[in-house]
Amino acid sequence: EAGVTQSPTHLIKTRGQQATLRCSPISGHTSVYWYQQALGLGLQFLLWYDEGEERNRGNFPPRFSGRQFPNYSSELNVNALELEDSALYLCASSPLMASPLHFGNGTRLTVT
Amino acid sequence: GQQLNQSPQSMFIQEGEDVSMNCTSSSIFNTWLWYKQDPGEGPVLLIALYKAGELTPNGRLTAQFGITRKDSFLNISASIPSDVGIYFCAGRPTGANSKLTFGKGITLSVRP
């Protein structure tokens, strides 16, 4: 069974640009979660989608947005990039809303 | 919002030693999870706990759901070099759309 896949693996952008990160959940999983892992800050919850709907959102500005497609894959968009957006962005999926999360290996976003 | 406290930030032990980690919360949780993250990879689920007082093993690892529902513990016995990594606790409170909150993680180093 394929795990959670994320693309691209690495992404380099300049300040002010926009970034799009993609995630494919494990087959059969309907919930997708996005977390930001910045150095020394642990995993900060960004967004949670289930069955195409946004279920919960973390304390991030509106320039962080996303969506979930009918095939349950998901996209995270970050507009007007700032230097402090540099981090590892992790996507996770679960089969049910209360189930443990299974993570991908992340997208390393670097903003210069 | 909920916060999870994990300390210390780093632990250094000798191969073969046992090690204990704990995680405390200001809120009551009904799910506790423990994850391990290796360099360049996403967190991997080690143990999931769903009931206060529950003690769950996974090989040399054992985790416990605290009676107060505000803490959890992870024990690693007879440590080996591949135990090196970052250990995260995560908790979820009651509520249909409640998010999974992570601690900042403990970096474990094992001296051969």
**Is residue B73 predicted with pLDDT exceeding 90?**
yes
Q: In what order do the strands lie in the sheet with A5-7?
A: A5-7, A19-24, A74-78, A64-68
Does B48 contact chain A (CB < 8 Å)? Answer: yes
Please tell me whether the peptide bond between B8 and the residue prior to it is cis, using omega within 30 degrees of 0: yes
Model confidence band, residue B2 (pLDDT cutoffs 50, 70, 90): low
Q: What is the mean pLDDT of chain B?
A: 93
Contact A56 B92 (CB under 8 A): no
pLDDT tens digit sequence for A12-33 = 999 999 999 999 999 999 999 9
- Chain B residues within an 8 Å CB radius of A101: 33, 45, 90, 100
Using one digit for the tens of pLDDT, what is the confidence trace for A53-73? Answer: 999 999 999 999 999 999 999
Whether the predicted pLDDT of B32 surpasses 60: yes
Give which of A99, A4, A32, A89 is closest to B92, Cα–Cα.
A99
Helix/strand/coil percentages in chain B, nearest 5: 5, 55, 45
Section B12-29 average pLDDT? 95
Smallest Cα–Cα separation from B64: which of B78, B52, B76?
B52
Among the partner-chain residues B42, B97, B101, the one whose CB lies closest to the CB of A106 is B42
Per-residue pLDDT band at B1 (split at 50, 70, 90): low
Cis peptide before B81 (omega within 30 of 0): no
